[in-house]
Amino acid sequence: MENFTFLQTTPNRKQNFFLFFVLLCTTIAFSQNPYNCNNCSSNDISIQKVELVSATSDGNGGYLPLPSTCNSGDIMNGYLKVTLDQNATTRYGIQISADIYVNGVYNSPINFETCNTFNSGTYNLYIPLVGSPISWTCGTSLSLRNIFIGWGNSAGNNVCNLGNCDVGPHCFKYNIDTNFVVITPLSVNFTAVGSCPPNNFAQTYVFNGSTTSGGVTPYSYSWIITKNGNPIPGSPFSGSLLTLDFSNLGGAGSYSVTLQVTDSNSPPTVSTNTQVINVGSCCVPSATCNLSPIVANSCSIPPAFTNPLDVFTFESCGKIATITSSDSGDLIVCGDGNGADFNRTYTLYYDGVPFQTCVQNIKINDNTPPTFTAPANTTIYADAQCNYDASVQVVGDVTDEADNCSTGLQATYTDSVADGACQGSHIITRTWALVDNCGNQAATQTQTITVLDNIAPTFTAPANTTIYADAQCNYDASVQVVGDVTDEADNCSTGLQATYTDSVADGACQGSHIITRTWSLVDNCGNQAATQTQTITVLDNIAPTFTAPANTTIYADAQCNYDASVQVVGDVTDEADNCSTGLQATYTDSVADGACQGSHIITRTWALVDNCGNQAATQTQTITVLDNIAPTFTAPANTTIYADAQCNYDASVQVVGDVTDEADNCSTGLQATYTDSVADGACQGSHIITRTWSLVDNCGNQAATQTQTITVLDNIAPTFTA
């Protein structure tokens, strides 16, 4: 394909085209009708496409395409690009003329002529040939109608040669029914018209996007509507015509409306247009005062309303309603004798702008007495000095003074005091009164305060003490001996005397007693002191008497036992005491070994304690136990022994026998002893040994001696040699 920018031989006409969006051109095929004076029937040159391109060179003798979209009102610059197909071998010159229609209305003609020679091929022609490019405003659609194209079929018939067949070309085509729509940038536009139909809270808007132009129809429409950045219910909407009642879609306010249009080109072109619309309110503000005059028996001015709904019936049409109030006139309820009488003026504001006022007359007077509750009747008590405190902090105060108007009221009282039944008691009649600031007096109320003495008297019981029975076991527990109460005292009563009662219990022993003396004291009002107890202990501290038996000696028996019972060695028989009876002296023995086995020294210590633990001086009896029984034994039997080869003999106890049954009632380990008397026997080497055995115990008691005869014989024959 070749690009040609041809010089225009006819005057250049600058056209202004208003385009919305650039769309790709569509190729249109059309038939050719021969011109009447045409001498050839060739139909070999045809227009394939007409389009607008930018004024920016593409570097190859042509121009770059226009942008696909433009904003309505933008100034665009460019050229009309005509694409031709030439099918014959050589053609001489080309002439083109057409009518330009803008938005379907005839605007101006266009004429083009070149003398160049064309071989077969495709050619791009850019119009105008000379001068500035075409300028137009985005938003206009353009079309070419009544197109005429001619060419020469020989050098002599070049379209530049005048006079040939009405100065026209020798070959041409001309068809008034063939039109080219020049594809222009897609330009989105829409109108927004608001109105207030009956009963609408906010305006209804009609959005019309049919003024969109450029690109390739048909279009698809998408309406995106937001308020404060948030889509309204139902957004996005479709269709070129859209009607919305904003009463239920956000009400009055500012909205962003974006129309997005997509054309039918391939690929589709998408463009948007955003407008901000201010949806108005369809409401008429109004207000009516609802208040009536007030006449009231009260003690205070009623507070002003702060809620507009409490004062007015109103329609603010979406505006913020507020109220203020001001009072003028006599605002004193008490003090001027006629109560308060004033006007209260309310002002209603819509969005801070005054709109309506409401005046209410108010009359307030107070003839209601105050109320209170007297403290309950109560009883209080005298103190340690017989004084009393009947202040309100103690007996109660009025705390519920109330009045419809006055504040800070304090009830007052007067007292009437009468003596009670006893010293320190009283009856106080307290009369309470209350008057409000308007002089209304409540009925008086009476409180009875009874003052009693509930403090018991005091005293100190005598100290616990001990007394003792005499020699006859009698005692004296009179107050002169054991003590009396001397410090009776009371907060109110005088001349008090403590009294006592005794409870006597036997003590631990005869002659001892526990006297529990309970002291009591009551004042003249019947207050009784806590009883106090004095314990008087009666004891017996006189020791009993007795005589111990005499010292004596007794002897061990055959078993080395002895009997030191009182029946043997003597008993005490003269026990005596001042109080205790049936006394028995007792003893303890201390036994020491005597000089030998079986002998003892018994030191018997006698003691006597009466039933009260009084102990007589101990007395000692010495009882000596002796052993006077001799030991026993059996001497070995008489025996015969024989001399040995040397004519000696062995008469040891191992040979002739020993005593083995030594015995004594007391001594142990006794060994009998012996002495031998030896006499010659009948022949040499024989003897008669008389062995005398004796035994003495450890106490020197000697058994009778016993004799053993031992005969020594020689029974060995002599020897000789014949």
Stretch 89-107: mean pLDDT = 76
Three-state DSSP at 182 gives strand
- For the segment 618-638, the average pLDDT, to the nearest whole number, is 95
Q: What is the pLDDT of residue 290?
A: 94
Say whether both 216 and 173 belong to one domain: no
Residue 167 lies in a domain: yes
* 590 within domain boundaries: yes
Per-residue confidence at 32, pLDDT binned at 50, 70, 90?
very low
- Among the candidates 182, 217, 245, a domain finishes at 182
259 and 290 share a domain? no
DSSP 290-332: ----EEEE-SSPPPPP-SGGGTEEEE-TTSPEEEEEEEEEE--
pLDDT of 694 over the 60 cut = yes
Asked if residue 623 has pLDDT above 80, the reply is: yes
Domain assignment present for residue 722? The answer is no
> Could you tell me if residue 513 is inside a domain?
yes
Tell me the mean pLDDT in the region 472-489: 94
Check whether residue 131 and residue 48 sit in a common domain: yes
Residue 213 shares a structural domain with residue 72: no
Task: Name the token pair of 466.
Answer: 């001990």
Instruction: Specify if 527 maps to a domain.
Output: yes
264-315, pLDDT tens digit by residue? 877 888 889 999 999 988 877 889 999 999 998 877 789 999 999 999 999 8
* 659 pLDDT higher than 60: yes
Q: Could you tell me if 190 and 259 are in contact, meaning their C-beta atoms sit under 8 angstroms apart?
A: yes
Confidence at 161, pLDDT banded by 50, 70, 90: low
**Average model confidence (pLDDT) across the chain:** 85
Spell out the residues 6+ positions from residue 100 whose beta carbon is closer than 8 angstroms to its own.
15, 106, 107, 108, 109, 110, 142, 143, 144
For residues 9 and 592, the model is more confident at 592
Asked, for residue 152, whether it belongs to a domain, the answer is yes
Pick from 182, 210, 229: which residue ends a domain? 182
Residue 10 has pLDDT above 70, yes or no: no
Share of the chain above pLDDT 70, in %: 88
Same domain as 174, residue 91: yes
In angstroms, the CA 11 to CA 29 distance is 29
Q: Residue 142 corresponds to which tokens in the numbers above?
A: 């353009």
User: In the 8-state DSSP scheme, what is residue 654?
Assistant: H
Phi, psi for 286 (deg, rounded to 5): -155, 165
**Do 275 and 343 fall into the same domain?**
no
Question: Measuring CA to CA, which residue among 190, 184, 205 is closest to residue 261?
Answer: 190
Same domain, yes or no: 60 and 120: yes
Residue 40, pLDDT score: 55
Q: What total number of domains does the chain contain?
A: 7
- Residues 365-404 have pLDDT tens digits of 888 899 999 999 999 999 999 999 999 999 999 999 998 7
Separation CA 215–CA 712 (nearest Å): 182
Lowest mean pLDDT among 95-109, 226-240, 450-464, 505-519: 95-109
Tokens of 670: 């006794």
344 vs 68, higher pLDDT: 344
Q: Hey, how many other C-beta atoms are within 10 angstroms of the C-beta on 117? A: 12
Q: What is the pLDDT of residue 473?
A: 92
- Give the pLDDT score at 18: 28
- Residue 334's Cβ-side half-sphere holds a number of Cα atoms within 13 Å equal to 19
Range of the domain at 355: 286-365
Q: Which residue has the tokens 């201010």?
A: 278
Which helix (H) or strand (E) segment holds residue 641: the answer is strand 639-642
Looking at the fold, whether 82 and 22 belong to one and the same domain comes out as yes
Q: Domain boundary residue among 626, 649, 678?
A: 626
More confident residue, 214 or 679: 679
Confidence bin at 406 (pLDDT 50/70/90): confident
Assess whether 271 and 290 both reside in one domain. Answer: no
Q: Residue 82, class by beta-carbon neighbours within 10 Å (0-12 exposed, 13-18 middle, 19+ buried)?
A: buried
Closest listed residue to residue 587, CA positions, set 610, 601, 566:
566
Establish whether the linkage from the previous residue to 285 is cis, with ω within 30° of 0: no
d(CA 219, CA 186): 10
Give the pLDDT of residue 29. Answer: 26
By percentage, how much of the chain surpasses pLDDT 90?
Answer: 61
Tens-place pLDDT, residues 556-576:
999 999 999 999 999 999 999
Q: Write the CATH number for 399.
A: 2.60.40
Non-local (6+) Cβ contacts of 559 within 8 A are 665
**Domain identity same for 79 and 146:** yes
Q: What does the pLDDT read at residue 449?
A: 97
**For the chain, what's the residue count?**
722
HEC letters along 247-277: HHCCCCEEEEEEEEEECCCCCCCEEEEEEEE
Domain shared by 176 and 254, yes or no: no
Name the helix (H) or strand (E) containing 566.
helix 566-569
Domain presence at residue 632? no
Considering the domain architecture, whether residues 41 and 111 belong to the same structural domain is answered as: yes
Instruction: Identify the band that residue 82 occupies on the pLDDT scale cut at 50, 70 and 90.
Output: confident
Task: Read off the pLDDT of each residue in 42-48 and give the average, rounded to a whole number.
Answer: 70
Using the predicted structure, report yes or no on whether residue 706 has a pLDDT greater than 50.
yes
Residue 8 reports pLDDT greater than 50: no
The three state secondary structure string of 509-560 is: CCCCEEEEEEEECECCCCCECCCEEEEEEEECCCCCECCCCCCEEEECCCCC
More confident residue, 26 or 468: 468
On the question of a cis peptide bond just before residue 231, with omega within 30 degrees of 0, the verdict is no
In the three-class reduction of DSSP (H, G, I as helix; E, B as strand; rest coil), residue 216 is classed as coil
Task: Tell me the pairing of strands 294-297 and 353-365.
Answer: parallel
Q: Which of 143-157, 194-208, 322-336 has the lowest mean pLDDT?
A: 143-157
Interval 236-249 mean pLDDT: 92
Taking the C-alpha atoms of residue 718 and residue 722, their distance in angstroms, rounded to an integer, is: 13
The reply to whether 339 falls in a domain is yes
The letter for the amino acid at 568 is: V
